[in-house]
Amino acid sequence: MITYAARTAAGVGLGALTTLAELPYVLLGTPLLAVPTPRRAVLRGARVLAEVERARLQRFLDAPNGDDYDGRRALQYLALRALVGLLALGVWACVGAGVLVAVFYARQLVTGRAPGGQGAGTVAGWLLITLLAAIAAYLCAQGIAGVATLDRRLARRFLGPSHRDLLVRRVSHLATSRAQVVEAVNEERRRIERDLHDGVQQRLVALGLLLGRARRTDDPDLVRQAHEQSQEALRELRDVAWRVYPIALDESGLDAALESLAERAALPVELRYEPAEPLPPALATVVYFVASESVTNATKHAGATRVTIEVRRADNGRNVVVEIADDGHGGARIGGTGGFAGLVRRVAAADGEFTVNSPDGGPTVVRAVLPCD
């Protein structure tokens, strides 16, 4: 606490000194904006001074700010920041005056004289002086804290993208997300077509041939093989339907769907599911497919013997994190196509972040962070 207070006081004091350079710069540089030639240099210098302030705020006031601002916004910031700096100068002048007065009265106390007088001091007189000193110290501390708060708010207001810039970025992000959603849907459709054409359809063709042979020869062994073939075709058809959209998500929720995924997997899967409240359906769908595709990748390509799926809330419930780890040989990468690329688009469409950490030799950790707001 004492260290934090000392650091804040030092930061405010340093800010009072920097305003001695910022105020003249603003007063002299602002009129020059009307002249095209020095305008760029003025804005560049304003940005340099703003960067100094940004470093001070981060070092002393624990207030990190972005650097996504231009020279004009930097000059606007410095114009208001100079006023806050003058206020800081006033506060520190009061602190300095208080220290001088405290030294003066300390000498009076040591020599046994009355506060501010020549006669002998009394207890009541010194108690009054002590009370006034405590009030003055409290007011100075409040002044430093107030200046620090103003400094933080001012920087947060100006040292970052403008509201218009944020809107432009948001629109661009939404346009990109929309394109990713369309691409994800198209990729999903192509995958379903492949599953039906290369799997179920081929199985049914083979079943038809087998039934034809069985009918011509009346061989009971061929009938048995045809029955097994039909069961296999049904199983593959159920798998395709499950991969399109697991009905358990609607009927029993995400935790039940993930439990079913763990039971159906070809290798041991440990599930840790923490959210107590049901997730929104769209979010639960993304979480499920991240887990499903990651388990499939661990089974088919990673040579893993064990997989862990963990779903939890993070950042005070604002985000949901799904993390899938396997003990395979690693080396997984996010390419332009393939399962992970599809997951990137799915997660991005939900404004989430998707990462794969898979060094050669393993292990592999697939992580998606999805906002719940």
User: pLDDT 10s per residue in the chain (373 long)?
Assistant: 778 888 888 888 888 899 988 899 999 988 888 888 888 888 999 899 999 998 998 888 888 877 778 888 889 899 999 999 999 999 999 989 988 988 888 887 877 777 766 677 677 778 888 898 899 889 988 999 999 999 999 888 888 777 777 788 888 878 877 777 777 777 778 878 887 888 888 888 888 888 888 888 878 888 888 888 888 888 888 777 777 777 778 788 898 889 988 888 888 999 999 988 888 888 888 899 899 889 988 888 888 899 999 999 988 888 999 999 999 888 888 776 666 887 888 888 788 889 999 898 889 999 999 988 6
Q: Locate 86 and state its tokens.
A: 């003058």
Task: Output the pLDDT for position 272.
Answer: 93
How far apart, in whole angstroms, are the C-alpha atoms of residue 65 and residue 152? 9
Task: Output the pLDDT for position 337.
Answer: 62
Q: How far is CA 280 from CA 245, 283, 285, in A?
A: 16, 5, 9
Determine the residue type at 188: E
Task: Output the pLDDT for position 333.
Answer: 81
Please give the model's pTM, rounded to 2 decimal places.
Answer: 0.55
Q: Is 39 strand, coil or helix?
A: helix
Determine the residue type at 143: G
- 255, 282 contact by CB (below 8 A): no
Specify the DSSP element, H or E, that contains 319. strand 319-326
Reported residue count of the chain is 373
Task: Output the pLDDT for position 324.
Answer: 94
Q: What residues have CB less than 8 Å from 372, skipping those under 6 apart?
A: 279, 280, 283, 313, 317, 318, 319, 320
